[in-house]
Amino acid sequence: MTKTHTLDLARIRAITLDLDDTLWPVWPTIRRAEAALAGWLAVHAPGTAALFADAPALRALRVQVEAGRPDLRHDLSGLRRESIRLALTQAGDDPALAEPAFDCFFAERQRVELFDDALHALEFLAARYPVVAVSNGNADVHRIGIGRYFKDSLSATVLGVAKPDARIFHAGARAAGVAPGAVLHVGDDALLDTRGALDAGLQAAWLNTTGAAWTHGGPAPHATVASLGALCQLLR
């Protein structure tokens, strides 16, 4: 039988919260952003648009850039911008177009569609705890329009470390003004969010919408919930 932690509601003084696939589905957002980028390139850099006519081709360039630029390993915006610059260069277009092209992509990347229960959950959590976003991605809670619910928003790009590194969780606790043991981290990724938070000494709530078993080593998380609404019910 899998061992489990026990959620200690009395110890929770702050919430750290993942963003992508926790508050909204990320891949529909990325696909829309890539489509917007493709449309921009078709107008402003048609050679690049023709050479990299499908999103997987640009994604492959990003892998190439990541291999050659370890300094950008945790900077998703930097990786995307430099992959666009490389695509422009390979197609014989002006590499300076990488900046406005990325701006087009990034603006669309912030147009997320929240899960049905996400806004209510943010209102519930922010009314009771300081909430800090802790993300490996490049979503901007202020541009999305939900910044008012967060005391702070931390990203791997800014900190230079990514989940499941304990340092990003500890930075989230500091931003909330509490010790790591007083934080409940909420996220969908069993390894990056849940296992990482547990190893960093936080309590962890796994947003497990598929009903998957816990097979990731060590005791199971303090709480497993099928939805953000269920999390709010648990914390009442």
Q: What is the pLDDT of residues 53-82, one digit of tens each?
A: 887 888 888 889 999 999 998 999 999 999
Task: Spell out the domains of the chain, with CATH numbers in brackets.
Answer: 9-25+114-235 (3.40.50.1000), 27-109 (1.20.120.1600)
Mean pLDDT over all residues of the chain? 95
pLDDT exceeds cutoff 50 at 1: no
Question: In terms of pTM, does the model score above 0.75?
Answer: yes
- Alpha helices by DSSP H, the chain: 26-44, 46-51, 55-68, 76-91, 98-109, 118-128, 141-144, 156-159, 166-176, 196-199, 228-235
